[in-house]
Chains A and B, each alone.
Chain A
Amino acid sequence: MKQFQYIRPATQQSVLDAITKPGTKILAGGSNLIDLMKRGVTSPDKLVDIQKLPLRGISQNKGNVMTVSVGALELNSAVAENKIIKESFPLLSMALNAGASPQLRNMATVGGNMMQRTRCTYFYDTAMPCNKREPNSGCGAMEGINRMHAIFGTSEKCIAVHPSDMCVALAALDASVEVKSKKGTRYIPFTEFHRLPGETPQLDNTLATGELITRVIIPHNNFAKNSYYLKVRDRSSYAFALISVAVGLDIRGGNINEARLAMGGVAHKPWRLKAAEQFLKGKPATVANFEEAASLAMQGAKSFGHNDFKLKMAPASIIEALSNAAKLS
């Protein structure tokens, strides 16, 4: 392994001072970054361990708009089991518990989960081409083994998917991300935090060099009663999603007042299904409407061979997740 510097600052200011250069990586739980370093996928000059920062805690803020704030260093397992989260945002709790394994959830943080990189095998194997790891080296997956790969928002350069479950739920819940840098504080809508690959697949997200994720803020909603996270995978635990669907429904008298839908395992970012949400708004919660919504959601999907099945599995999973959220049996 290449020699690197490791620091563990005690204050936020000293972290912000330490992360201004590319080649510096922020270390939180380390459950993905350390793997990437071992495999030679990334070789930072400097690791800034932020575990000493007070970026923990889950709290309700009762301002103009009621929100819940989750510290960037909260553990995935702690968030999943938190009383406020379980009561107000069961979707997030379900998504977190669908991710990784208990051991990993006990190490992985909220901010780290957002920053985890794709699990595309070509990205991980430094002997293979990958535009994300090494720009302009080619995409190994496009004509290679692409069973796990994207069907939405792909580019000529990259068809990788973002592997997170938590992020799919946060995208559905209209969360926003608080980031700090020496320039100050800014808020990024969660759906704009991750990006599509386009011409620059090496960039996973819109975080700039020098920026630190400090909190995730989730606005109050009425989805708690009718939420569901469906994860279809090759084994019951510790497997990435073939397809996952996050659903939040606000159902009043059998009609859908508001719907939130996002998918995982299909794109370079958590994939919000806005057209389907629009369609469902004001409609009765019926299987027929769910089928129509699923069909709208699939517009523009494109597969690459091994992942052709996703064109069938994705709409089926949307219908199943919606039916579960609406408690139709």
Chain B
Amino acid sequence: MKQQAQHTPPFTEGINRVDGIMKVTGAAKYSAEYELPGMTYAVFAISNITKGTITSIDTKAAERAPGVLAVLTHLNAPKVPGYEAGKDPSKPPTTGGPLKFFVDNSVKYNGQPIAMVVADSFERATYAASLIKAQYNKQQHETDTEKNKFKAAAPKGGRNGGDYKRGTPDDWKAAAVKVEQEYVVPINVHNPMELSVTLAHWTADDKVTVYAKTQGVKSTQNAIAQAFKLPVENVQVTTKFVGGAFGNALRTWPHEIATVQAAKLVKRPVKTVLTRELQFNTVGYRPYTWQKVSMGASADGKLTGIIHEATAQTSSFEEFTEGTVNMTRFMYACPSVGTVYKITPLDVNTPTWMRGPGEATGAFALESAMDELADKLGIDPIELRIRNHADTDPENGKPFSSKNLKEAYEMGADKIGWSKRKLKPGTLTEDGWLIGYGMGTGVFGAGRGRATVKAALLDNGTLLIQTSVTDIGVGTGTAMTQIASEIFTGIPVKKIKFELGDSSLPPSPTQGGSTITSTVGGAVHDACTQLKEKFQQLIGNGGTDKPDYVKVLKEKNLPQLEVTVTSSGSTEMRNFSSYSYSVHFVKVKVHPKTGVVRVDNVVSVADSGHIVSPKTARSQIIGGAIGGIGMALMEEGIMDHRYGRYVNNNYADYHVPISADIPQIDALFVNKPDYRVNPMGAKGMGEIALIGMSAAVANAVYNATGKRIRELPITPDKLLS
């Protein structure tokens, strides 16, 4: 793609959230709110052992309970045709595969569904499920990552396998100043407000309609089509609104397939809404990850070598990997870098991506270690980063498509009042509280994928734009409307209609990995541009900036003028490394006696190209910062490993930040377009909003107290010990 300079809209406040009024008035219909005639409800009975086999299961009382239509177990569940049951279970494919419910008597984790009750009400299904009694042949289980680290091995598949080495990483050992420390990020469980929802309704023997909480209607459509061996177009998936997903609805989980299966059996619509408790075991989580960073620098603060090792948990039946150590390869200009990534299988459900995902875990370690190194060198942590700034990508030698990180450091430092920070920790107080400032950097790949968009001018003056993408709450509909409105400047925003979340619309990718604004936005841009050209051809030369679309279409006797455009990134991108960056600045107060930490101020700066939709971008940065505060100070899925059970599987005991924990958060944007990525010059920011934040908090706590907490979350007890 050529450098496109024709499209440089001003950095304005942007339009309001297009679905904002629907959301605050309750008019937005979330997946659990769909009601269908004859609808039934599914509830799972779960295993309370962690590993073993079911020797008997008594469902008689449940079957007799009032309102019960069916009880599915491994003994009677109809086959899911695409499951290919019967494969030798002792020889799984090298990278494993998702668990399949009700195909055999094995129990692979505590809380695994062993039966599914379908009844005419949720309460009756819940009661009947409580009557199911199972006997087990129990086996010794392992759920503790720390205890099973010795079993860890490099992943067999996936793109995060394989050790990385450049130069002589062991050079850190001979450096003038060294840091060698271990860091732990515990399990973070997916706890968005909206629980997992699946409502399945077979409209014919070979046709099913599904309302689901998913981050990608097309991927859910494909998964169901494969499982039930249906033509893809026979599966309709709708997801109009999502109440927070953060990665937990990227996959189609086995309980969703089970819901579709049950609906086929009872020949009525079946709705499954997971309980909060079951959410902990069913839709993935950020895995417990141990890390070690060894780094050395010369006396003047130039990095000489870094080794970043990580070991994370996965399930016994499936490899889950993420890019935990990858950032260390290219973040700083260091001649010698080594990374090692391993996973250890446990008797738990498979982890999944959680906002940031592995990069957020990795950045906690790398950016904490950088802070430790700056402290040892006696220099400002921003200065250390500037001295090691990578001008080109040290991993592959390519130039960056754009990088304004130095400017981001400057903007954030200025805004938070970084000059008030003391180099020596524990020396600043306000009203009896210890005060500290800290910062951390985040980075995430910025690319552009393929999407198809249909754009149509209707003879009622509406610009209708359609694609299957879901909006998981980030403001995709708003951003796409903004892009279209900047091309069709003559059409008022309220006449632009962006339709999404429907598998029958032209295909867009799943919303995840900070790609949608670039990918779908690029396609919306291209579709609108082509539609505008088509209109120009229709009216010939000499049109105005604000043509009367309605009049023209009526004159030409056209009900609508439409284009469908598939577009994706340019091959030129292969010559560049492309990343979005963030820098988080945090001011904390720590109570010297009780160890209570309060975040007093946050400034997050995003270097993510042109900001397409300033209002929703600001919200996204604030949301990521809050997620990062939770990761730093509160979130931890605590398991009693004797039983393999979570002990805090509810909203009261699993802490996420509440309003009173959240201070003023300023979201700043460098806002310099990168037209190599897409014609808007925009790069993603969903992940960078969180990546690096937990390190910023931990570094601020160190600056306040002189105590370095390397195992999250930073709870008051850890600061007292």
B123 touches A1 (CB 8 A): yes
B716 lies within 8 A of A313 (CB): yes
- Report the Cα distance A140→B645, complex, angstroms: 12
Given contacts A128-B643, A242-B716, contact A236 B593 (CB under 8 A): no
* Beta-carbon contact of A319 and B658 below 8 Å: no
| Closest residue of B by beta carbon distance from A38 | B126
- Which of B338-346, B405-413, B460-468, B594-602 contacts the other chain? B594-602
B-contacting residues, A118-167, CB 8 Å:
119, 121-122, 125, 127-128, 140, 143-145, 147
Q: Inside 8 A of B645's CB, which chain A residues have their CB?
A: 125, 127-128
Supposing A317-B593, A329-B432 touch, asked if A242 and B658 sit within 8 A by C-beta, the answer is no
Complex: chain A residue closest to B126, CB-CB: A1
Please determine whether B655 and A145 come into contact, CB atoms closer than 8 angstroms.
no
Report A-chain residues with C-beta under 8 Å of the C-beta of B130: 1, 40
Smallest distance from the beta carbon of A327 to chain B beta carbons, Å?
13
A235 at the interface (CB under 8 A from B): yes
**Minimal beta-carbon separation of A71 from chain B (angstroms):** 27
Q: How far, in angstroms, from A316 to B716 measured CA to CA in the complex?
A: 12
Set of chain A residues within 8 Å of B655, measured between Cβ atoms:
234-235, 239
When A316-B594, A316-B720, A317-B593 are in contact, do A127 and B48 touch as well, CB less than 8 Å? Answer: yes
- Encode B627-653 as 1/0 by CB contact (under 8 A) with A: 000000110001010110101100011
Q: Taking the complex as formed, is A237 at the interface, i.e. its CB lies under 8 A from any CB of chain B? A: yes
Asked whether A140 lies within 8 Å of B720 as measured between CB atoms, the reply is no
Let me know if B717 is at the binding interface, CB within 8 A.
yes
Q: How far is the CB of A56 from chain B (nearest CB, A)?
A: 27
Q: Chain A at the B interface: mostly helix, strand, loop or mixed?
A: loop
Q: How far is the CB of B701 from chain A (nearest CB, A)?
A: 14
Q: B638 to chain A: which residues have CB within 8 Å?
A: 145
CA distance A145 to B716 in the complex (A): 17
Partner of B593, one of A143, A234, A316: A316
Q: Which residue of B lies closest to A147 (CB)?
A: B717
Alpha-carbon distance between A235 and B126 when the two chains are bound, in angstroms: 32
Q: How large is the interface on A (under 10, 10 to 19, 20 to 34, 35 or more residues)?
A: 35 or more
**Given A140-B640, A238-B652, A313-B716: A125 and B647 interface contact (C-beta under 8 Å):** yes
Interface flags for B582-600 (1: CB within 8 Å of A; 0: not) read: 0000000001011110100
Which of B432, B653, B661 contacts A236 (CB under 8 A)? B661
Q: A145-B638, A232-B596 are in contact. Are A237 and B660 (CB under 8 A)?
A: yes
Q: Does B664 contact A (CB under 8 A)?
A: no
Q: A121 with B593: in contact, given A232-B716, A242-B717 (CB under 8 Å)?
A: no
**Interface residue from A144, A237, A240, A312 paired with B647 (Cβ < 8 Å):** A144
Closest to B643 in A: A128
A6 at interface, CB cutoff 8 A: no
**Residue of A40, A144, A230 contacting most chain B CB atoms (<10 Å):** A144
Main secondary structure of the interface of B (DSSP, over half): loop
Interface residues of A in 88-130 (CB under 8 A from B): 101, 119, 121-122, 125, 127-128
Judge whether B660 and A236 touch: CB under 8 Å.
yes
Contacts of A232 in B (CB 8 A): 594-596, 716
- Interface 1/0 per residue, B688-715 and A, CB below 8 Å: 0000000000000000000000000001
| A141 → B minimal CB distance (Å) | 9
Q: Hey, what's the 0/1 contact readout for A27-66 against B, CB within 8 Å counting as 1? A: 0000000000000100000000000000000000000000
- A 293-329 binary contact with B (CB < 8 Å = 1; else 0): 0000000000000001100110011011000000001
B658 partner, pick from A40, A237, A329, beta carbons under 8 A: A237
Give bound CA distance, A237 to B598, whole Å. Answer: 12
Whether a CB of chain A sits under 8 angstroms from the CB of B67 is no
Q: Is the CB of A238 within 8 A of B658?
A: yes
Contacts of B633 in A (CB 8 A): 234-235
Partner of B594, one of A2, A40, A144, A313: A313
A290 to B: closest C-beta gap in Å: 11
Give a binary string over A197-226; 1 marks a CB under 8 Å from any B CB, 0 the rest.
000000000000000000000000000000
Complexed CA–CA distance, A119 and B653 (Å): 9
Contacts of A308 in B (CB 8 A): 721
Is B52 located at the chain interface by the 8 A CB criterion?
Answer: no
Instruction: Decide: B720 and A309 in contact? CB cutoff 8 A.
Output: yes
Q: Report how far A291 CA is from B301 CA in the complex, Å.
A: 45
* A235 contacts B657, C-beta separation under 8 Å: yes
Tell me the complex Cα distance, A210–B430, Å.
54
Q: Provide the B655-675 mask, 1 if CB < 8 A to any CB of A, else 0.
A: 101111100000000000000
Cα–Cα, bound, A40→B660 (Å): 32
Q: How far is it, in angstroms, between the C-alpha of A40 and the C-alpha of B645 when the chains are bound?
A: 17
> In the complex the two chains form, is B717's CB within 8 Å of A313's CB?
yes
CB-based nearest A residue for B629: A235
Interface positions, chain B 311-341, Cβ under 8 Å from A, are none
Asked whether, in the complex, the Cβ of A119 is within 8 Å of the Cβ of B652, the reply is yes
CB within 8 A of A320: which of B48, B594, B640, B658?
B594
Q: Tell me whether B634 and A236 are in contact (CB under 8 A).
A: no
- B647:A121 contact, CB within 8 angstroms: yes
What is the CA–CA distance of A155 and B288 in the complex, to the nearest angstrom? 34
CB distance from B109 to the nearest CB of A (A): 14
Residue numbers in A under 8 Å from B596 (CB-CB): 232-233
Q: Which chain A residues in 233-260 approach chain B with CB under 8 Å? A: 233-240, 242-243
Cross-chain contact A236 with B598 (CB below 8 angstroms): yes
Q: 7 A-B contacts, Cβ less than 8 Å apart?
A: A125-B647, A140-B643, A143-B642, A230-B594, A235-B660, A240-B652, A313-B595
CB-based closest 7 A-B pairs? A309-B717, A236-B660, A127-B48, A121-B647, A316-B593, A237-B660, A232-B594
Q: CB within 8 Å of B: which residues of A?
A: 1-2, 40, 101, 119, 121-122, 125, 127-128, 140, 143-145, 147, 230, 232-240, 242-243, 308-309, 312-313, 316-317, 319-320, 329
